[in-house]
Structure 1
């Protein structure tokens, strides 16, 4: 167990190894070469903000640091980048100033959120059989179809002189998570799978594989 001084010296990431939003931050931490402690949220049905690092939205991930807590994957990734030295060249969402790239980032994040809603509905026993659930599943398949059709031009349009982009990390985490959780078959998405196979060669990906915490 880390001591209190060690906990203060390095950030504490709060999340789950089976969460795609958490994996985004773990990939960033590896890419930024940031050491951290990992605290697992055991019960996703908990309504206690303290279980989520103080996040009142009751969501993961969160990052606790000596400066305070950071809620959400993007906030956490930005703080990890600020802590890195030297700071890699990262393409952030605000750098995507063309409709194709901006829409791709929006749809990736929307698809991730929709997938979470479908999973949580299943856990709560309120899944199939209602119009809202059907709409969410249709929206997810629509978004994945759009991403598949546009994957090649989107990736080609990213700034070439980059070490990493938030879009690539989130896209990789989304596609691989759909298969991991069995939410949506991905075998037909050849462009997206090709991208994932290439991106998965990074050490940051092999070291953060999805698994259920025990």
Structure 2
């Protein structure tokens, strides 16, 4: 059985778990309980000591996008990053991934007891404002009859993660809030709600 190794509190991990659930891929989730570990085996062999990883009979596969492509193998109704050659979709994909990385930067600064870089915070807020403004155009450009796209799942996971980790206020982005309320009703979202993993 496929194993997904990561954290329930990680937006990168949640994207992969939601994809697996949406596509009906049988899998087992294995939480990383020692996030400070410098042993690659903790991260399913990822030498960069990062998550998530997928492990199947071909071995480990590292990174959110790679994992989503593996999960979508053989499916024609799945829209992954770069599949839609429309500029607004490409920009939304880029800004969503930028937002996910900036989110982590802010969290790491807080954990170190340091203020987040003003440029990082402003870039994150600017990205959210752009995504809020262009959300309808992005979704309209995606194919009808699709399974949830990578950009939709990743955007949902990002926007929900920001208040969970108290990174930035998302209240000003009303269109994103409506989208998250709608998307959050999906069974895959409910099952993967953010929480901090703890040893049993």
* TM-score when normalising by structure 1: 0.87
* Deviation digits for residues 173-193 of structure 1 (CA, Å, limit 9, x no counterpart): 010111111111111111001
Between Structure 1 and Structure 2, whose CA radius of gyration is higher?
1
What is the aligned residue count?
A: 198
Distance, in Å, in 1 between the alignment partners of 2:51 and 2:41 is: 11
1:44 aligned to 2:35? yes
RMSD across aligned positions (CA): 1.5
Distance, in Å, in 2 between the alignment partners of 1:128 and 1:191 is: 29
Q: Is the 8 A contact 1:88 1:164 kept in 2?
A: no
1:110 aligned to 2:98? yes
Distance, in Å, in 2 between the alignment partners of 1:111 and 1:45 is: 23
Gaps of 5+ in 2: none
Deviation at 1:88, TM superposition (A): 6.0
Distance, in Å, in 2 between the alignment partners of 1:62 and 1:91 is: 21
1:21 aligned to 2:12? yes
Gaps of 5+ in 1: 1-9
Question: What's the secondary structure of 1:64's corresponding residue?
Answer: strand
* Deviation digits for residues 115-144 of structure 1 (CA, Å, limit 9, x no counterpart): 01111222233x217xxx121111111111
Deviation at 1:105, TM superposition (A): 0.3
1:124 aligned to 2:115? no
Q: Is the 8 A contact 1:17 1:211 kept in 2?
A: yes
Which residue in the other structure is 1:147 paired with?
131
Distance, in Å, in 1 between the alignment partners of 2:19 and 2:181 is: 18
Deviation at 1:42, TM superposition (A): 2.0
Larger % of helix: which? Answer: 1
Distance, in Å, in 2 between the alignment partners of 1:88 and 1:32 is: 11
> Where does structure 1 differ by over 4 angstroms across 4 or more consecutive aligned residues?
none
